[in-house]
Amino acid sequence: MARMTTTMLLAAALVTTAACSKKRPEVLPPAPGDAPSGAVDPNGGGAGGSGVATPGSSEDFKRSVTSDTINFGLDMIDIDATARGILDSQVVWLNRYPNVRVTLEGHADERGTREYNLALGDRRANSAKNYLVARGISPSRITTISYGKERPVALGSDEESWAQNRRAVTVVLN
Confidence class for position 151, pLDDT limits 50, 70, 90: very high
- Do residues 43 and 172 touch, judged by C-beta distance below 8 A? no
Q: What is the pTM of this model?
A: 0.72
Asked if the model's pLDDT at residue 167 lies above 70, the reply is yes
d(CA 25, CA 150): 13
**Total number of domains in the chain:** 1
Give pLDDT, residue 53: 85
In a domain, 148, yes or no: yes
In a domain, 14, yes or no: no
In a domain, 10, yes or no: no
- Write out 63-103 in H/E/C secondary structure: HHCCCCEEECCCCCCCCCHHHHHHHHHHHHHHHHCCCCEEE
Asked if the model's pLDDT at residue 174 lies above 90, the reply is no
132-147: average pLDDT? 98
- 145 strand-pairing partners: 105
Confidence class for position 161, pLDDT limits 50, 70, 90: very high
The CATH number of residue 118's host domain is 3.30.1330.60
Q: What digits encode the pLDDT tens for the residues 107-118?
A: 999 999 999 999
Give pLDDT, residue 46: 45
Give pLDDT, residue 6: 73
- Do residues 168 and 106 touch, judged by C-beta distance below 8 A? yes
Q: What digits encode the pLDDT tens for the residues 4-53?
A: 777 777 777 666 665 555 555 565 556 655 544 444 444 444 444 556 88
Tally of residues, the chain: 174
- Average pLDDT over the chain, rounded to an integer: 85
Give pLDDT, residue 7: 74
In a domain, 30, yes or no: no
In a domain, 25, yes or no: no
CA 74 → CA 80, 151, 163, distances in Å? 13, 17, 8
- Write out 122-154 in H/E/C secondary structure: HHHHHHHHHHHHHCCCCHHHEEEEEEECCCCCC
Confidence class for position 2, pLDDT limits 50, 70, 90: confident
Give pLDDT, residue 135: 98
In a domain, 136, yes or no: yes
DSSP 46: B
Q: What digits encode the pLDDT tens for the residues 73-87?
A: 999 999 999 999 999
Cα angle, residue 165 at apex, residues 161 and 168 outer, rounded to 5°: 155
Q: How far is it between the farthest Cα atoms of the chain?
A: 74
In a domain, 39, yes or no: no
Which residue segment(s) compose the domain that 82 sits in? 54-174
Q: Say which residue, 5 or 150, is predicted with more confidence.
A: 150
d(CA 129, CA 1): 60
In a domain, 16, yes or no: no
> Nearest 10 degrees: CA dihedral of 160, 162, 166, 171?
80
